[in-house]
Structure 1
């Protein structure tokens, strides 16, 4: 079995997370940060830690062999470090460090670099200077097609740098304009409306998708499961594929779950009242997948050294 980086749906072999106890740290930190960071409510520390333990248990229940690397506490990091997806991008040459569009999160890529180096995961490049890209705006559609959302968190200069880094990996970059929706302070990413579930299956919220991108998915033979309007704000569209058609989602979106299961997916849910709903970050946000099993051998592949 070939393993590599350029997939959102292959069996997950290695990923990075940040436990709530190391992101939220203390009641004093929560009191100082939750309003400036635009959380919908103040997280309860003890409840968040317990929820996160169960979240990890749910991941491991789907695949007991998945390797989980935990980010530690670090200087300059806010509560938002709970959502490590946004600080890096995986490609077949290694990890690309992002340059966060949200100023309060600028320290996160360096923290992830340190963890990657500790675990022997190569760091291939970085978005720098005036360029901004967040990992929630980036998703592999297939092993040779990377989609990037152009919105308030990811700008044109960041996309230019990302394209230059991705092309040597034998991949094309598809730019997807994002809607204004709730404005610059909102955490709207491409993956707010798209979660790949299998090589030919994706969960989407079509009312906020641009037509050319939706048509591209259909042209690639990808079946679309539609999130109902009443479950979009509760992050019904934020679903993590742990393996093809095997996924983890936030509890409280029963119709989306029913539609996924009707499409052939195995679905497990977790309670994310403190760790997901209040910070608007579901299971894709709370995980930075690194290695996955691929369908085909990648054109360029750099495997990590043993930890």
Structure 2
């Protein structure tokens, strides 16, 4: 279990406890206020009696919400609402049933019917409070707690990778002529790529293989990570959409909070370039305007500004440009629609020299098929780790496409 999973456990406990306590307190306050209008003055005895009556109900509500949060119910508002409704119904029913039978009432169909009837009576308020809180305040609190990092938690450097499919040669090709793929060489190149990440201090985590999904090795297209939040993409190439669930499971296992692009929006991770707090998004064949709008709405609360960039000469934005650690955007000008959109742009002399994976503040990973571009970047003071990915470049892939980096 990773440290981020620890944050998920803590967030699950905190949210389940807070929702259950608030609902419990709401019932005490309600009965207390209700007694003010009676001939019997409210007292500590009433508070204790109400608290005892709802104690088991609140315990069950806590348990249901805790389990739901761990398995990801708070990642989306509608699954949080479902979890809240389940807890709102199940906890009062089970709690009241246990309380009744332990008090001497025989277990029978009549008792069960009477217990369910309380959902329209005394337990109705409790159910409403739990369902409403879970889908609103509860989900908000879960996201806040889960995103908090302890000062004792080390900086993470995790790279998700996915082994090439056996039918890699059938991958989609859009802007270049198809070439024969050497599958055995591709496997060796992928192994070397993963080894390079590991040697640079990155923990590599394999996404479950998708042996019949030809493009699945290009795992970057399936999600984009913004700190502790991951946005699950929805590719404009429908044949690639089945790749996303495997990536989603791997990101969930790392404890990231998940958001997603929904149809009719489309977006590929290869179209998203992060430079500081600016997020450049390529509008091209795989990413549409609605996908960009959705991404903007998702990351604006995280402090990012989305800038849309036209892409007509390459498969993805990051086929044409990427960025060095200092924020300088580098690219092969014949593939770039508009250079002026970038604050700082540096042209490189080779098409395969556009892509860099930032390994650290002074080290980048580049393709060995672009020696002039490598020399240019080295001359800027960076250490360049070179890898041969020629078989993947035949499928419009680059060094960024083969991993999702989580920092």
Q: Return the TM-score normalized by structure 2.
A: 0.58
- Can you list the C-alpha shifts for 1:1-56, whole angstroms capped at 9, x where unaligned? xx99xxxxxx9711211122xxx23xxx356x347888833322322222211112
Corresponding residue SS for 2:353 = coil
Q: Identify the match of residue 325 of structure 2 among 186, 198, 201.
A: 198
Counterpart of 1:18 in structure 2 is 162
- Can you list the C-alpha shifts for 1:112-153, whole angstroms capped at 9, x where unaligned? 111112232321x100111001111111121x2111111111
Distance in structure 1 (CA, Å) of the matches to 2:386 and 2:190: 13
- Measure how far apart 1:155 and its partner are: 0.5
CA 1:41 to 1:209, structure 2 compared with 1: closer, same or farther past 3 Å?
closer
Distance in structure 1 (CA, Å) of the matches to 2:272 and 2:331: 15
Corresponding residue SS for 2:398 = coil
- Measure how far apart 1:215 and its partner are: 3.4
Corresponding residue SS for 2:215 = helix
Structural mapping, 1:250-261, within 5 Å: 250-261=367-378
Counterpart of 1:215 in structure 2 is 340
Relative contact order (alpha carbons < 8 A, sep ≥ 6): 1 or 2 greater?
A: 1
CA 1:170 to 1:190, structure 2 compared with 1: closer, same or farther past 3 Å?
same
Corresponding residue SS for 2:225 = strand
CA 1:34 to 1:196, structure 2 compared with 1: closer, same or farther past 3 Å?
closer
Aligned length: 254
Counterpart of 2:265 in structure 1 is 131
Contact 1:19 1:82 in 2 (8 A): yes
Instruction: Give runs of ≥4 in structure 1 deviating > 6 Å.
Output: 35-39
Distance in structure 2 (CA, Å) of the matches to 1:156 and 1:226: 27
Unmatched 5+ residue regions in structure 1? Answer: 5-10, 182-186, 292-307
- Measure how far apart 1:244 and its partner are: 2.1
More strand by share: 1
* 1:169 and 2:302 are equivalent in the alignment: yes
CA RMSD for the aligned pairs?
A: 2.5
Distance in structure 1 (CA, Å) of the matches to 2:336 and 2:173: 29
CA 1:279 to 1:122, structure 2 compared with 1: closer, same or farther past 3 Å?
same
Counterpart of 2:353 in structure 1 is 236
Q: Identify the match of residue 222 of structure 2 among 82, 87, 92.
A: 87
Corresponding residue SS for 2:157 = strand
- Measure how far apart 1:210 and its partner are: 4.0
Distance in structure 1 (CA, Å) of the matches to 2:321 and 2:308: 14
Distance in structure 2 (CA, Å) of the matches to 1:113 and 1:34: 21
Moved more, 235-244 or 198-207: 198-207
Unmatched 5+ residue regions in structure 2? Answer: 5-146, 148-154
- Measure how far apart 1:104 and its partner are: 1.2
CA 1:89 to 1:40, structure 2 compared with 1: closer, same or farther past 3 Å?
same
CA 1:244 to 1:202, structure 2 compared with 1: closer, same or farther past 3 Å?
farther
Counterpart of 1:7 in structure 2 is none
Contact 1:12 1:243 in 2 (8 A): no
* 1:104 and 2:246 are equivalent in the alignment: no
* 1:115 and 2:250 are equivalent in the alignment: yes
Moved more, 254-263 or 37-46: 37-46
CA 1:129 to 1:35, structure 2 compared with 1: closer, same or farther past 3 Å?
closer
Distance in structure 1 (CA, Å) of the matches to 2:223 and 2:272: 10
More helix by share: 2
* 1:48 and 2:186 are equivalent in the alignment: yes
Distance in structure 1 (CA, Å) of the matches to 2:319 and 2:289: 20
CA 1:169 to 1:35, structure 2 compared with 1: closer, same or farther past 3 Å?
closer
Distance in structure 2 (CA, Å) of the matches to 1:12 and 1:244: 14
Contact 1:239 1:249 in 2 (8 A): yes
- Can you list the C-alpha shifts for 1:163-192, whole angstroms capped at 9, x where unaligned? 11111112211111122x3xxxxx621112
Q: Which has the larger radius of gyration?
A: 2
Distance in structure 2 (CA, Å) of the matches to 1:133 and 1:47: 30
Distance in structure 2 (CA, Å) of the matches to 1:93 and 1:12: 11
Q: Return the TM-score normalized by structure 1.
A: 0.75
Structural mapping, 1:259-274, within 5 Å: 259-274=376-391
